[in-house]
């Protein structure tokens, strides 16, 4: 009990110290905010004084003392406010960034020994003008109550002058008075020391409370274990009661089983004979199974098919005999047709052989006729270009000839393409060369699909013309061009010569 009293005293003392600190902080905060509001009001008055000084320094602004009749005005705005609105328009025209107003405001503050940073913002005619280029200052500084000038009821025409001030905490504290500040700090320190003292006592008391809590936890644990033991005891009694009931039921079931055992023995004697027979059959089947497993899978399938066929043949022997007679007739007919087809094949082979002999004979006659025709004309001198593998080329007449005398005649684009191939280095031509030189097609922004198609067609026609000469081949290089290749030819240069 005594310990609890001490704990309560310490708790009350800690709460009291915390309450005193909170009250002191609230009091000081209220004093600080009141003093800051007074300073802001004083700064706004000084800002209005700076605006009046700015008007006085502008000699061009004439103060009109004429009478103003409010009854003739379309609104309730005073004439003085309207004159002030016009003055601000004039001042902004001569000082767009309002640096003069900011300088006058700073000068008045220095006279009053108030060291604060200031900036002016002018809002009017749809424009916002800042006297300072530091945008971060406008976010952090305090905005004083703005000064608004009206010319009519349209708020968009209003002119608003806003003064921003950054008041250091030091200035507010100076206005409160250092005596009060120091007194407040001393009170805070005293309250803090009192709180630290009670905090130490609290730690000591917490240790004692912790030990008490551990003792209480141990008591609770013992109570829990006791409750568990009681629950287990009740569970054991319930289980023993269930087991006794179960034993009684099992005894009844045992009596019924003994009665049915005798019946089962009689049935088992009858089934024993059946089981012996089934075991003998099972032994026989196992023996057959072992013999069947020694036979391969293919033979077992064949035997099964043959057995099925044999059973079917025995059942339909007479029908099969009739079918076999019909099949024999069909086989004889097919054999006769096969013999006839073989005879026709021999005739076709003989005819092909005769046609080949006739073609060779016609070719020989054609060669003789060509020689005769050549003998009718006067012999002309031919300039042959000698190419690899005994290939000769007459560029003038478009004739290509090999050593065995076989010749072909090229015309038009194939002739022109062949001539460019044999003149090119390594007999290689680019797609662009074929398009511009051979086909004489202009190229704009690369080859088009139609250009590539015409090039492929021209090369295909030349390949078809050179088909009788297997020693000449035109190979394509992907995305590059084509190259003429002569069989058994490697890196030779074109040799030029003349013969009759």
- pLDDT (tens digit per residue) in 299-336: 767 657 877 777 786 776 777 677 667 877 777 787 78
pLDDT in tens, 282-291: 777 777 767 6
Assign 489 a pLDDT band (cuts: 50, 70, 90): very low
| Range in 143-157, 174-188, 368-382, 454-468 with the lowest mean pLDDT | 368-382
Residue 33 has pLDDT above 90, yes or no: no
Average pLDDT over residues 419-438: 91
Which carries the bigger pLDDT value, residue 106 or residue 185?
106
How confident is the model at residue 492, as a pLDDT?
A: 41
How confident is the model at residue 365, as a pLDDT?
A: 65
How confident is the model at residue 461, as a pLDDT?
A: 93
Residue 3 has pLDDT above 80, yes or no: no
Class of 385-486 in CATH: mainly alpha
Which carries the bigger pLDDT value, residue 279 or residue 160?
160
How confident is the model at residue 10, as a pLDDT?
A: 64
Q: What percent of the chain has pLDDT over 70?
A: 80
Average pLDDT over residues 23-41: 79
| Range in 193-197, 248-252, 307-311, 358-362 with the lowest mean pLDDT | 358-362
How confident is the model at residue 459, as a pLDDT?
A: 93
Assign 494 a pLDDT band (cuts: 50, 70, 90): very low
Would you kindly state where each structural domain of the chain is located, as residue ranges? Answer: 2-63+75-176, 310-372, 385-486
- Centre a 10 Å sphere on the Cβ of residue 192 and count the other Cβ atoms it contains: 13
Residue with tokens 């309250």: 191
User: Which residue in 452, 453, 393, 401 sits closest to 427, CA to CA?
Assistant: 393
How confident is the model at residue 457, as a pLDDT?
A: 94
| Range in 157-171, 262-276, 305-319, 480-494 with the lowest mean pLDDT | 480-494
pLDDT in tens, 51-86: 888 888 775 555 544 555 565 666 667 777 777 888
pLDDT in tens, 135-146: 888 888 888 889
How confident is the model at residue 65, as a pLDDT?
A: 46
| Mean of all residue pLDDT scores within the chain | 78
Residue 495 has pLDDT above 70, yes or no: no
Assign 498 a pLDDT band (cuts: 50, 70, 90): very low
How confident is the model at residue 460, as a pLDDT?
A: 94
- pTM for the structure as a whole: 0.33
Residue 233 has pLDDT above 80, yes or no: yes
Average pLDDT over residues 381-400: 86
């Amino acid at each position: 009990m005594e310990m609890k009293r001490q704990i309560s005293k310490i708790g009350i003392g800690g709460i009291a110290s915390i309450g005193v600190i909170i009250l002191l902080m609230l009091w000081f905060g209220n004093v600080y905010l009141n003093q800051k509001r007074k300073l802001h009001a004083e700064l706004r008055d000084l800002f209005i004084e700076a605006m009046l000084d700015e008007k006085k320094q502008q000699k061009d602004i004439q103060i009109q003392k004429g009478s103003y009749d409010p009854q003739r005005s379309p609104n309730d705005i005073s004439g003085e406010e309207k004159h002030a609105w016009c003055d601000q328009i004039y001042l902004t025209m001569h000082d767009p960034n309002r640096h003069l107003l900011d300088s006058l405001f700073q000068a008045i503050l220095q006279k009053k020994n108030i060291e604060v940073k200031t900036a002016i913002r002018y809002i009017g005619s749809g424009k916002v003008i800042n006297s300072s280029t530091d945008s971060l200052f406008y976010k952090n500084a305090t905005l004083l109550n703005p000064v608004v000038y009206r010319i009519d009821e349209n708020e968009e025409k209003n002119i608003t002058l806003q003064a921003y001030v950054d008041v250091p905490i030091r200035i507010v504290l100076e206005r409160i008075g250092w005596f009060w500040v120091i007194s407040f700090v001393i009170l805070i320190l005293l309250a803090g020391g009192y709180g630290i003292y009670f905090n130490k006592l609290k730690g000591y008391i917490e240790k004692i409370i912790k030990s008490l809590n551990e003792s209480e936890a141990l008591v609770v644990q013992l109570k829990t274990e006791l409750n568990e033991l009681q629950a287990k005891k009740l569970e054991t009694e319930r289980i023993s009661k269930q087991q006794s009931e179960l034993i009684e039921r099992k005894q009844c079931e045992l009596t019924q089983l003994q009665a049915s055992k005798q019946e089962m023995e009689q049935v088992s004697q009858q089934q024993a004979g059946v089981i012996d027979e089934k075991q003998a059959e099972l032994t026989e089947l196992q023996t057959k199974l072992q013999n069947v497993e020694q036979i391969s899978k293919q033979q077992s399938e064949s035997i099964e098919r043959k057995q099925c066929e044999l059973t079917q043949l025995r059942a339909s022997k007479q029908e099969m005999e009739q079918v076999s007679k019909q099949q024999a007739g069909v086989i004889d007919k097919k054999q006769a047709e096969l013999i006839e087809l073989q005879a026709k094949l021999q005739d076709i082979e003989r005819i092909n052989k005769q046609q080949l002999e006739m073609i060779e004979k016609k070719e020989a006659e054609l060669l003789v006729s060509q020689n005769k025709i050549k003998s009718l004309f006067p012999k002309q001198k031919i300039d042959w270009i000698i190419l690899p593998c005994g290939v000769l080329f007459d560029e003038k007449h478009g004739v290509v000839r090999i050593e065995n005398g076989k010749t072909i005649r090229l015309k038009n684009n194939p002739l022109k393409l062949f001539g460019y191939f044999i003149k090119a280095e390594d007999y290689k031509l680019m797609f662009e060369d074929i398009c511009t030189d051979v086909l004489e097609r202009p190229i704009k922004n690369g080859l088009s699909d139609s250009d590539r198609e015409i090039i492929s067609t021209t090369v295909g026609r030349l390949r078809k013309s050179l088909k009788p000469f297997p020693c000449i081949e035109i190979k394509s290089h992907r995305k590059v061009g084509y190259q003429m290749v002569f069989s058994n030819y490697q890196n030779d240069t074109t040799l030029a010569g003349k013969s009759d």
